[in-house]
Structure 1
Amino acid sequence: MYSRPLLAVLLFVCPAAHAALKIDGRADEAEWKDAHVLRDFKRTQPYTLDAATVVTEARLLSTPEGIAFAFRCEQPADIPRIKPFTPRDRIRNADRVNVNIDFDADGKVGYNFTVSLSDSIEDAIITSENEFSTDWDADWLHAVQEDESGWSVEILLPWTIAAMRGSSTPTREIAVNVDRVVASRSERSAMPPVFYGNPVYLSGFQRVTIPQYRAQVLDLFPYVSTLYDFKHPGSEFRAGADLFWKPSGDFQLTATVNPDFGQVESDELVVNFDAIETFYSDKRPFFTENQALFDLPSAPDGVLFYTRRVGAASDDGSGRAADIAAAVKLNGTAGRLKYGAFLAEEDDDAGRRFAAGRLLYTFDQSNIGALVTSVDRPALDRRADVLANDWRWQIDPKLRLEGQLLLSQIDQRGADSKGSGGVLRLVALPSDRLQHTAVLTHLDGQLDFNDAGYMPRNNFNRALWETSYKHNDFAADSAVAAVAWRGTAMYRANDDGDRLSPVGYLVREASLRDGGVFTSELRVDGAGWDDQISRGNGKVWRGARQWLFNEYGSPRRGKWQYQFGVWALQEGVGDGLALQLETELSYSISDRLSIDGQINPRWSRDWLIWLDGKRLGSFRRTQWDTALNLNWFPKARHELRAKLQWFAIDAHAGKAYRIDPRGHLLRDGAAEDFSVNNFGLQLRYRYEIAPQSELYLVYSRGGYEERDRREESADLFADALRLRDADQFLAKLRYRF
């Protein structure tokens, strides 16, 4: 818990004298008496929409320093208080409150701010109604006070925290939703009672008109870092800076010179044998600040501007990450028009140049926009340009139509191409319990936005229908409080006239009155063509396959909480089943020290993967996906984290197949056994000097190994501890001026 003056904020307009709030969690200043009050919270988890079992009241107040919120959470002694200290953006099993706010009240971009009973925090950006990204870390004030009858929270969101249109007007309309989670009961209650798991969430916030104040901020974040490599003894020193300038809510600029993105955050270990690239989130400060305007997803599961492309593996073929020389980004508004521009250039002769521009015009709850990306790749003599037009029409409160038109042009010697595609989505809400979604997708075989974006595939046509229904009128003595059903059907084909495997699945999620959740999923992939598995070496006809999943998530039981799930699935040529267990266990040794881990083994009898050319292989497989995390907060501002991951595969008894001219698989002898070992360890100490000023000390070690022979699981684990592709120590200081 802390409070501090907003030294960087300079006030330009102050309609009336107003004492600055002290953000200490008490909400005892006289100004709070005039605040807008949000009460009568309804339960949204389980989705019963009846009165919350405990009383919560929230207040909203506009001040010259920012938009302030105060919560009063009643919590009698018979309801356990769950208050572990957690790293930023990793609150899971804790009593907490959430502020969700759309500063422009247009349903396009929202922001989430979470404070737990221990004063741990999360912040996230909300796009596409209910897509949350915790990559963004903002600067805001928060504090918690606890007493015998409950606890209180104060939150202050500075006027400069995000881009806002019309920042010069005396008032502004915002849209808000506040909620509270009682961890021991796995209960969430909200006002207004909208739930992030529904297709319509952001648009359902309550609109409130508040006084508006103008402010500006200029922040400079220089950094220094040093890296010592133990495997190849030697050190590297780097220095650079980020600049954030926000003269008003209508215009914000971010720039970086020689940025350092040392591994203070480690990616999850993944071994990918699929044809589709693995998608990773991006925690780099420059790329997350004011990025929401550029976040434009596209079916199927694509992203039109994927910031991990900047600074990715160099085009020089060395495999090393490219150094970034400089980058700049600006966001602004002019009336109802939002605009943004992004430029980045990598270092050395093979360095790529990235550019993106975004326009978005909003009116009422509808909008129309355009996104342009351009990537120049001199080492490949390649230039890639993409234009996306997106629009959203809110026909009425219960019916919404959305669409995208996509165009790409690739200029590369001997490989020029022009492609197009489009997505059309209709969302209908006949009632609070029932929702329907229909999606049509067409991406032709020449469409390519992978240079600046993330594109799982092209040459793709899909018709999707999804219906979800929530049943919440169970008897009071029922163990079940609410049940959510979701059914999905997909027809898929490519432009060559091949019917790809159709997909249908049914999901049932039962919320129990004791706080547990039981989830079941049945998926059926019908017979059809697979045109990706051979990496362009021919399509393969695959028979129908079924997947069945059941999982139970327990409520908090004392210091323990667990999840246990079982998958039974077909993934190969014949009827052989694979079995996967998903187990996760967390234990709070104390509020400041916790440990959690997961073990997800899979045993396959028929695992089908590509080998080379027109050859595929079916293997028996034993796979281990494990992780162990320890988080310790010895005192305020100090954080120690240990993270260990191990991923291993033993593939044996392989059968080789060759694709015949008709697309069927013919036996082609045996496939060689192999094993894969991937290990990562990170020990990280973080000291918060001041908000957004931090010292990191990080030790990382790990490696990857693939062998042309079978290895038993015990041997794989023993060998993993000896892997040492990387063995480094990093010290990094980033300070805010």
Structure 2
Amino acid sequence: VEATEALKIDLLVKGARTRDGYFYRVVAGPYRTRDDAAGTLERARTLGYTGVWVIADSATESRFGGTDTGSTVKQSMVPGAPTTVSTRRVPTAREVAVPSLGEASTNDNEDARDQTKPPSDSKLHKLRRDAQLQRTPRGPNEGPVSLRVKDGTEITLVRSETGESVTIDGKLEEKVWENLPDLGTFVVTSPDTMVPAPLATIVRIFYTERGLYLAALMEQDPTTLVERLSSRDQGELNRDYFSLTLDTSGEGRYGFFFQLNLGDSISDGTILPERQYSRDWDGAWYGASSRTDDGWIAELLIPWSLLTMPKSKGERVIGFYATRKVAYLNESYSWPGLPYTEPRFLSAFQPLLMEGVDPRQEYSVYPYVSSTYDNLDGSADYRIGADIFWRPSSDFQITATAAPDFGNVESDAVIVNLTAFESFYPEKRLFFQEGQEIFTTSSRSSSYSSYGQLKLLHTRRIGGPPIRPTIPEGVEIDYKVLNQPTELRGALKAIGQRGRVRYGVLGAMESDSDFTGLQASEYVSIGQEGRDFGAFRAIYESSGNGYRALGYMTTAVLHRSQDAHVHALDGHYLTENGTWNVDVQAITSDVADSSQGYGGFADIRYYPRRGISHSLSLDYFDRHLDINDAGYLRRNDSKSIGYYMRYRRSDLAWLKQSYTRFSLSSGWNIAGENTSSGLRVSQSLSFRNLTSLMMDAEFYPSRIEDRNSFGNGSYRISDRLGFDLDYFSDTSKRFFYMIRADWQQEDIEGNRYRLGGSVVWRPTDRLTMSLDGRYTTQDGWLLHRGDSSFATFAANQWSPSLGVDYFVSAKQHLRFAVQWVAIRAKENLRYELLVPGSPLTVVMDSGGDANSDFSISRLNVQLRYRWEIAPLSDLFVVYTQNASLPSSNDRRGFASMFSETFDNPLAEQLVVKLRYRFGS
């Protein structure tokens, strides 16, 4: 700063890798001639800056400016770059001895000397840890942009009045990209070595009244690029991509992420503190990529109208985090350097400063038309409706849906569940995904939670199967129709923010259902009223000196047969350095014809240093707590404690990364019976040839099982051991595979063996074929048979799935998918629950009696075409067949079961749906 004022020029910081280590240079320029550079050199020496010299022409320069990004970047990386760039930089004596990410070059000019080494009279100063780099642009396209070292955190972005003419095509041919500063120094964060990234990444950003524009130029040998087209939100695939996450609150409270994959497939979603990523959100943003001779380019436009932000008339700060995946190395490079092993994430983003970002009123209307043809009864159904989104300001949005069509364009996984616990199915409907993050009360809302999933608002309940009506005596009805989804009349949602308070309101009304039964050979109609759903959420957040929040949420489900209400308070605390992270929640439920229920939990995490964490979870849910009318809780009547340790290392010579997990937990029902206990040790090894091995050992001591008798008492099951082994080949290859084997002891006696795996082949970037399969054999499968009776079975289960994905382009996707689950079970022994809390008692051997043997076969086939006409504007053509065989004891083979299932569908539909977005 002192030198800038004295010399009256803009100075910037450039990195250099030297023979003596890594340094940051404070430099000026570029200059078009040596005479111009020499003039600045003399003026600096006159003012007492003796340790200055001229850096000669560098091959790393381009029309995109300096490269201080990681390593040498060739001129050809930037389309239209000049063949010769004359850049003369004038460093001062105030250089800093910290690792750099660039490398100076030399030529034969007389003043060039050793460009990688400072003059002998230079003095190196350590950089203060809290010093940051701030960009202070002179204006769009008005010459070089400066980079200043100062105490502070914000980087000022360039605002362009002409930038809205940019075409998002991945080519960067517009002049506005030329004179922008490149942001950040990317480091390797996965594995978390934190060393300078070996491949350069240049990031440029500017903004307009419309939105945020970003370009990323990524150096890489073109022969190593991994392009893998996919449907939206398949973000876990190993392929080359660029992703940015924006903390739009500016205070580490909430944000959004946008991922552009090489080839133009995209993924997006939301984030909550500290690293709660969710893909349950889709936005109308724009992204395009292109290959170059030296790598590839990602270009993105994020409209302000998509983003929830605090209201602001002047300066606005948003947090920024960018990461790049290099698939052929299985590495990620990020800026800022925030690896998964660090406790802080969202609260540690790089602040970006902007002026006058106050989005105008925005609206979007999504009308749709759909037609469904049912091939089984020959009927056709036609629908028309609309979703409406209105954002009068950046901190408030109202969404509504009228006559919504939640047709069968997405299929759930085929699951065979013979336990007393409900399977969880995620939300896939656009209206309910939008703004869902406000109703997330803790990390337990995620299906990936280590502590057990808990959602106060599970929107799949809305429009789910109706409350079962009372069936008059003598009336026969097909009970399968009672499990069909309920139509919705409409729904309304409002999301907003006032100061430090965020809030959300949701309401939905179901239509009445009508069922047809048969009584004395005559058809009778049985009706059931629809339910009304409501939810309200408010949370107060403070992010100064750490993160603190206090939230309240309530849900209501109203029906003439019963009303259900739930209320909850949640608190969150994160220390400033991220060492301690605490989530707590207290819940009460009030359901008609039931006592008031209470429950709560506390999750405490401790991060003593990078790479290691300790967690403690405490739960209490009494037997009357019932949140499942609107939410999801796997079980009530439970109290538990669990300890979890995670340890990652990336400093081993023979491994790329090691990940160790240890857990110890125990749980009881309210009566004091031990219903869950376990010790588990897991070890994941990622090898340098990009293969990986996962091992898992488990021990479950003897405990009480109180649920799988379906209300007929509790019984004791035996100690059990288990071991899993998974092997993954290099997933960046066009052909890769996974092999899985596991063994576990059964509840009473016997063993379960499972062998599975998957094979994926990508003959081209546009075509992917995958085959998954799992075969299970067990000789002591314990199942409830009714009342106090149980039986063990020798069973074989075969669960294959096939997927073929072909992409005409990134916007047109044709998918064929088949999933089948088949079980053949032969009864071994019969048991009775004679003394509650004791082991089951053998009452007889089946003796070869086949009457209790059974088989299950469920099949889902889907052929789907999707054309993304524009962001969130789609044409779907979907053929779906669902089939299931009635349980049988004829011991037929798997091949026969498959063909018979395929020939006897329960549902066969063709759906055509067109949705188009209109908006401001």
Deviation track 1:235-274 (CA, whole Å, cap 9, x = no partner) reads 1111111101112211101100110011111111111112
| Identity rate, percent | 31
Q: Show the counterpart of 2:456.
A: 304
Q: Which amino acid aligns with 2:460?
A: R
692-701 or 447-456, which deviates more: 692-701
Structure 1 residues not aligned, in runs of 5+: 1-13
Q: Show the counterpart of 1:42.
A: 187
- Residue 285 of structure 1: how far off its partner (Å): 0.9
- Residue 40 of structure 1: how far off its partner (Å): 3.0
* Partner SS state of residue 287, structure 1: helix
Distance 1:441 1:527 in 2: 21
Q: Show the counterpart of 1:432.
A: 610
Distance 1:296 1:369 in 2: 8
* Partner SS state of residue 305, structure 2: coil
Distance 1:552 1:207 in 2: 41
Q: Show the counterpart of 2:120.
A: none
Q: Which amino acid aligns with 2:788?
A: K
Asked whether the equivalents of residues 165 and 332 of structure 1 are also in contact (C-alpha less than 8 Å), the reply is: no
- Residue 41 of structure 1: how far off its partner (Å): 2.2
1:382 maps to 2:562: yes
After superposition, the Cα gap between the structure-2 partners of 1:53 and 1:248, relative to the gap in structure 1 and judged at 3 Å, is: same
Asked whether the equivalents of residues 642 and 664 of structure 2 are also in contact (C-alpha less than 8 Å), the reply is: yes
Q: TM-score, normalised by structure 2?
A: 0.75
Asked whether the equivalents of residues 160 and 208 of structure 2 are also in contact (C-alpha less than 8 Å), the reply is: no
1:248 maps to 2:393: yes
Asked whether the equivalents of residues 162 and 290 of structure 1 are also in contact (C-alpha less than 8 Å), the reply is: no
RMSD of the TM alignment (CA)? Answer: 2.1
- Residue 396 of structure 1: how far off its partner (Å): 3.4
Say which of 856, 862, 882 aligns to 1:676.
Answer: 856
Q: Show the counterpart of 1:447.
A: 625
Q: Show the counterpart of 2:597.
A: 419
Q: Show the counterpart of 1:8.
A: none
Q: Show the counterpart of 1:4.
A: none
Say which of 323, 327, 333 aligns to 1:189.
Answer: 333
Question: Aligned ranges for residues 523-542 of structure 1 at < 5 Å?
Answer: 523-542=698-717
Q: Which amino acid aligns with 2:696?
A: E
Q: Show the counterpart of 1:544.
A: 719
Question: Aligned ranges for residues 243-322 of structure 1 at < 5 Å?
Answer: 243-297=388-442, 298=444, 300-317=452-469, 318-322=482-486
Q: TM-score, normalised by structure 1?
A: 0.93
- Residue 35 of structure 1: how far off its partner (Å): 5.3
Q: Show the counterpart of 2:224.
A: 80
- Residue 387 of structure 1: how far off its partner (Å): 0.7
1:467 maps to 2:645: yes
Question: Which protein has greater RCO, CA pairs closer than 8 Å, 6+ apart?
Answer: 1
1:96 maps to 2:271: no
398-407 or 305-314, which deviates more: 398-407
- Residue 524 of structure 1: how far off its partner (Å): 1.5
Distance 2:257 2:452 in 1: 26
Distance 2:261 2:620 in 1: 44
Deviation track 1:307-348 (CA, whole Å, cap 9, x = no partner) reads 000000012443221110010001001111111100000012
- Residue 502 of structure 1: how far off its partner (Å): 1.1
Structure 2 residues not aligned, in runs of 5+: 1-157, 445-450, 470-481, 513-527, 847-851
Q: Show the counterpart of 1:109.
A: 254
Larger radius of gyration: 2
Q: Show the counterpart of 2:686.
A: 511
After superposition, the Cα gap between the structure-2 partners of 1:58 and 1:147, relative to the gap in structure 1 and judged at 3 Å, is: same
Distance 1:565 1:205 in 2: 38
Distance 1:127 1:619 in 2: 45
Q: Show the counterpart of 1:481.
A: 656
* Partner SS state of residue 22, structure 1: coil
1:157 maps to 2:337: no
Q: Show the counterpart of 2:815.
A: 641
Q: Show the counterpart of 1:327.
A: 491
Distance 1:383 1:197 in 2: 45
Q: Show the counterpart of 1:607.
A: 781
Distance 2:316 2:746 in 1: 54
1:569 maps to 2:747: no
Asked whether the equivalents of residues 163 and 290 of structure 1 are also in contact (C-alpha less than 8 Å), the reply is: no
Asked whether the equivalents of residues 36 and 61 of structure 1 are also in contact (C-alpha less than 8 Å), the reply is: no
Asked whether the equivalents of residues 41 and 193 of structure 1 are also in contact (C-alpha less than 8 Å), the reply is: yes
After superposition, the Cα gap between the structure-2 partners of 1:85 and 1:557, relative to the gap in structure 1 and judged at 3 Å, is: closer
Distance 1:614 1:174 in 2: 61
351-360 or 213-222, which deviates more: 213-222
Q: Show the counterpart of 2:833.
A: 659
After superposition, the Cα gap between the structure-2 partners of 1:196 and 1:256, relative to the gap in structure 1 and judged at 3 Å, is: farther
After superposition, the Cα gap between the structure-2 partners of 1:546 and 1:171, relative to the gap in structure 1 and judged at 3 Å, is: farther
Deviation track 1:389-426 (CA, whole Å, cap 9, x = no partner) reads 11112233211222101111112xxx232011111121
After superposition, the Cα gap between the structure-2 partners of 1:107 and 1:525, relative to the gap in structure 1 and judged at 3 Å, is: farther
- Residue 93 of structure 1: how far off its partner (Å): 3.1
- Residue 554 of structure 1: how far off its partner (Å): 1.4
Q: Which amino acid aligns with 1:63?
A: T
Distance 1:90 1:455 in 2: 27
1:734 maps to 2:915: yes
After superposition, the Cα gap between the structure-2 partners of 1:184 and 1:584, relative to the gap in structure 1 and judged at 3 Å, is: same
Deviation track 1:588-625 (CA, whole Å, cap 9, x = no partner) reads 12111111120011111211222212222211111111
Q: Which amino acid aligns with 1:313?
A: P
- Residue 568 of structure 1: how far off its partner (Å): 1.1
499-508 or 352-361, which deviates more: 499-508
Q: Show the counterpart of 2:883.
A: 703
Q: Which amino acid aligns with 2:509?
A: E
Q: Which amino acid aligns with 1:416?
A: S
After superposition, the Cα gap between the structure-2 partners of 1:163 and 1:56, relative to the gap in structure 1 and judged at 3 Å, is: same
Asked whether the equivalents of residues 823 and 855 of structure 2 are also in contact (C-alpha less than 8 Å), the reply is: yes
Deviation track 1:656-687 (CA, whole Å, cap 9, x = no partner) reads 21112242201133561100000010011112
Distance 1:461 1:200 in 2: 30
- Residue 533 of structure 1: how far off its partner (Å): 1.4
Asked whether the equivalents of residues 353 and 375 of structure 1 are also in contact (C-alpha less than 8 Å), the reply is: yes
Asked whether the equivalents of residues 702 and 723 of structure 1 are also in contact (C-alpha less than 8 Å), the reply is: no
Deviation track 1:172-223 (CA, whole Å, cap 9, x = no partner) reads 2222221111122222222223345776543443333333232332111111
Distance 2:776 2:275 in 1: 31
Say which of 148, 166, 177 aligns to 2:321.
Answer: 177
Say which of 536, 553, 558 aligns to 1:357.
Answer: 536
Deviation track 1:78-116 (CA, whole Å, cap 9, x = no partner) reads x52111221112251321111122211444433221111
Asked whether the equivalents of residues 713 and 836 of structure 2 are also in contact (C-alpha less than 8 Å), the reply is: no
223-232 or 94-103, which deviates more: 94-103
Q: Show the counterpart of 2:754.
A: 580
Distance 1:635 1:459 in 2: 52
Q: Show the counterpart of 2:865.
A: 685
1:720 maps to 2:895: no
Deviation track 1:145-169 (CA, whole Å, cap 9, x = no partner) reads 2111011111111112132222x33
Say which of 204, 214, 219 aligns to 1:69.
Answer: 214
After superposition, the Cα gap between the structure-2 partners of 1:163 and 1:135, relative to the gap in structure 1 and judged at 3 Å, is: same
* Partner SS state of residue 896, structure 2: helix
Asked whether the equivalents of residues 123 and 136 of structure 1 are also in contact (C-alpha less than 8 Å), the reply is: yes
Distance 1:61 1:19 in 2: 8
Distance 1:132 1:617 in 2: 43
Distance 1:701 1:659 in 2: 41
Distance 2:796 2:170 in 1: 52
- Residue 128 of structure 1: how far off its partner (Å): 5.6
Q: Which amino acid aligns with 1:186?
A: N
After superposition, the Cα gap between the structure-2 partners of 1:36 and 1:409, relative to the gap in structure 1 and judged at 3 Å, is: farther
263-272 or 183-192, which deviates more: 183-192
Q: Which amino acid aligns with 1:345?
A: M
- Residue 384 of structure 1: how far off its partner (Å): 0.7
- Residue 526 of structure 1: how far off its partner (Å): 1.6
After superposition, the Cα gap between the structure-2 partners of 1:670 and 1:137, relative to the gap in structure 1 and judged at 3 Å, is: farther
- Residue 642 of structure 1: how far off its partner (Å): 0.6
